[in-house]
Amino acid sequence: MPQPQPLDAVPVPSPEKWEGCVRKGIWRKIFAKLLCGPVGPLWRPRTGSSRKQLLMLSCWLLQAWTYSMHWGILQCEAAGMRVSTSKSEAMVLDQKKVACTQQVGGEVLPQVEEFKYLRVLFMSEGRMDRKIDRRIGAAAAVMRSMYRLVVVKKELSRKAKFLIYQSIYVPTLTYGHELWVMTERVRSWIQAAEMSFLHRVAGRSLRDRVRSSVTREKLGVELLLLHIERGQLRWLGHLFWMPPGCLPGEVFRACPTGKRPRGRPRTRWRDYVSRLAWEHLGVPPEELEEVSGEREVWASLLRLLPPRPGSG
């Protein structure tokens, strides 16, 4: 079993060696070995010199990132492409604000706290609230655009409205839901966004004082929270099925060390989805990997996933 070694023993590669590592894609394996080893990090700051070692680690990672980014820029230029610094930004993933200067072609990239890529919002603090709120806002914009032509149009059949709800509204609302941590507040947001569409399709309002479960039963619609939780458990199975070396699986199995800040700790996705499997499927956390490893068994369990008591 490999033992943690001090950071002083980790050599900083030369530019020529890093160029070869970047070309072959070895730098990903080096980072994974340093930060996410099979038994934890292969380095650990020693008592009395942690500040020095952490500074060395920061310099080491910054140098590695600089070499890899420089190599990518050279490859783009060789292919006739140019990196647009006016459209490039830098972000540091940390719960506290950390200043980090990155330069490309002599120009300093602006540091931001959030950015959107492929309609997914990334935040430096790692929170999900803003991301989910943006998805709800996007779904509300879709409903407003279809309100007169689809939602309240009497000439359109209820079946057609339901198909539009499933094919347009739900995917817009739940895009990227596999990695959401569904707290009680988030569950309330999702349920309110769901019923804002279904109540209008059913021709009801809040003044009618009809329970959401009655409206869903009348329309024959599955609980949206159940759809989200099934997708999250399905993604959990995919993570366990991924072979070694696959980046999402390596990140999922990683066990980073360190101290959490003061206050109530955030709920980690792995803890949340493990509790979800225990409450809904009766699978204890210690047997989760073994049970989900059987594709047919796991798929049959997901099909039998019951709704939470009291939902709606």
103: pLDDT strictly greater than 50: yes
- Token look-up 């942690």 returns 50
pTM for this predicted structure: 0.69
Question: What spatial distance separates the first Cα and last Cα of the chain, rounded to whole Å?
Answer: 51
Mean per-residue pLDDT over the chain, rounded? 76
Of 92-101, 148-157, 181-190, 247-256, the least confident: 92-101
Sorting pLDDT into bands at 50, 70 and 90, what band is 96? confident
What does the pLDDT read at residue 193? 92
255: pLDDT strictly greater than 50: yes
Which residues, in sequence order, are CB contacts of 258 under 8 Å at separation 6+? none
Nearest to 94 by CA among 130, 124, 55, 127: 124
**What is the percentage of the chain residues whose pLDDT exceeds 90?**
15
85: pLDDT strictly greater than 80: no
Contact 88, 105 (CB under 8 A): no
Of 41-50, 200-209, 278-287, the least confident: 41-50
15: pLDDT strictly greater than 70: no
pLDDT tens per residue, range 267-288: 888 899 999 999 888 889 888 8
